[in-house]
Amino acid sequence: MSAEPFDKRDGWMWYDGEIVPWNEAKVHVLTHGLHYGSCVFEGERAYGGEIFKLDEHTARLKESARLLDFEIPYSEAEINAACREILARQKLTDAYIRPVAWRGSDMMGVSAQNNKIHLAIAAWEWPSYFDPAQRLKGIRIDRAKYRRPDPQTAPSTSKAAGLYMICTISKHAAERNGYADALMLDWRGLVAECTGANIFFVKDGVVHTPLADAFLNGITRQTVIDLAKRRGYQVLERQIQPEELSSFDECFITGTAAEVTPVSEIAGLHFQPGPVTATLMEDYMAEVQPKKKAA
């Protein structure tokens, strides 16, 4: 992945129905989405020229906007076509795709019912989210200071930009301490997720993962649960207490960027990347590859 700043790159972007030069895709500083967090987005990944589970990502984008009380002025079919169009225009086959929708600059204040809703879609090369050599050994995770909010205080099932503020703070703190990421609890003190990925544990061959009742039920999470069940693993979606962490054998995280990544440590508690994690890593990478069409 290029180290060049994102606003200095060449290429093209889909912006409000048009293909525009990358460096011309701009918003005004007095944009409601910037000041009040009225912005939703998706993280999607293309493998071999096909965007994995594009329909599910687009449906979630539309639902996230609805939860933030605005409607994206394009149909799901139009958004899907735009994602594929910009991937082709960028001449990418293995890439990350970022649709983002936000309230514009028509009104500046908490109330903004009449603001124009914008949609932009970018695509760029994206290698492993974590260092490849370290990933196979298992990444090290710290404990986060901040917790995922009570669903009665924030739209926790939306992929809203504002919900990631505490994730950035937590990941920065973890990296300063030599870790790759941070484990967040929810408002009740139960195990929730990492800063940008869902988390799983394995004990005696049984897969455990926190119940997604206070955080985003990731599309990769759902995919991995399905893959585990196909393999015959028992999967328990349940409330997990922090005190239980030391009892698990394996740990891994999932996400569009993280894919399936083993975890070797959570703040001093050690895990051994094992056979269940390895199997699901392989199964996931096989699942995301474009399927050959029958002749």
Annotated catalytic residues are 159
Contact assessment for residue 271 and residue 243, using Cβ atoms and an 8 Å cutoff: no
Is residue 213 within 8 A of residue 148, CB to CB? The reply is no
Cα 164 to Cα 168: distance, rounded to the nearest angstrom:
6
- CB atoms near residue 1 (< 10 Å): 10
Give, in order, the Cα–Cα distances in Å from 289 to each of 53, 127, 168, 252.
11, 15, 30, 21
Neighbours of 142 (CB within 10 A): 23
Strand-pairing partners, residue 119, are 101
Q: According to the 3-state scheme, what is the secondary structure of 138-175?
A: CEEEEECCCCECCCCCCCCCCCEHHHHHHHHHHHHHHH
Rg of the chain over CA atoms, in angstroms? 19
